[in-house]
Every structure is written in structure tokens, then in C-alpha cells.
Amino acid sequence: MKITETTLPGVLLIEPDVFGDQRGFFMETWHRQRYFDAGLKKDFVQDNLSLSRQGILRGLHFQHPHPQGKLVQVLRGRVFDVAVDIRGGSPTFGQWVGVELSGDNHHQLYVPEGFAHGFCVLSDEALFSYKCTDFYHPETEKFLLWNDPDIGIEWPVSEPLLSGKDQKGKRLKDFSRDELPLFPA
């Protein structure tokens, strides 16, 4: 397994070992001790799975309080996956990183607590898996505008299909200080 820190400290690109032959492949998607030994010392409490079709954009979502760290990967298809640092006081506040995750490259992305997360589907459909460090708390879920011009995410779609909640996302500058997580002192 190879783990690479992205341009945002704490956001990790993980390339698990994949063992393939003419029959297909085998890989471990999570092995607590191996990931702990590699520096990802997280306990996950909830797994989620979503299926989305091409052009759908889910995000940018976060919870505060009750932030969720997420270990995400695509089981089938391709997505452009994005993490945005929304921690007040962070030296990388408002910065984003995006990577392509696919069922072919088997890469995973760890998005820490305190980051907004979203993805758009590049293939006909995508089966997307999330491991979360906290439970879903709908009363604390918040929506950052997917195309906030102050953040400037370079999405590979210009007119994505959005949920009603995602259409009503707010710009980062419009969140009050109390609505955002803080960078650890």
C-alpha cells in the first residue's frame, strides 16, 4: 500500500495493493492494523454506498458539529472527487484538492474531519463507497456551494445534476464562524 499526502495536509491518496491475474483481482479495502501502521489511525463507525449516473454532482457536504472523516473509493465507474478545507484558522482554508477515483485504479481518498467533500460522476454510472468516522447527523449537515467562485474548483462538468439541497448550498464566506469547524490550535 502506498499513501501520499496531497497538497492539503491530512487529505491522503491511498493506493492499496491489488493482486490480479486472469481471473480478476483481490484487494483489501480496509485492514485496521495495516492502515494504523501506515499512519491512518482512524476508527470508522458507518459505511455508506451510493450509486449515481453520469453528470451527477454530490456535494459539497460536511457536518458541524459531529464532523465526519471519510475514506472513499469507487467500486465501479469513475468520479472526480474533491475535498475543501473549511476549518477556520487553517493555513489552507478555502483551498481544494481533486483526484480521479475509479473502479480501475482502485485508489482511495481519506478526507479528514473539517473538510467539505463532494464528487461528480464521469462514467455512465458510479458505485461509490464511504467509510465514516462518525455517524450521519442530518441536523448538523451543511452544504457548501459546489461552484463557489472564491474556492474555484475546476470541475470537469459545467452543468451538473444536483439535489435540491446541493442547489441551495452557501458560499464559504456566507457561513458564520459558528457554522464551521476550527483548525486545531
Given the residues 106, 110, 117, 130, select the one marked as catalytic: 130
Given the residues 61, 106, 107, 110, select the one marked as catalytic: 61
Residue 85 near residue 182 (C-beta atoms within 8 A): no
Residue 144 near residue 104 (C-beta atoms within 8 A): no
61 is catalytic: yes
Q: Which of 121, 69, 124 is nearest to 100 (CA)?
A: 121
Residues forming the active site: 61, 130
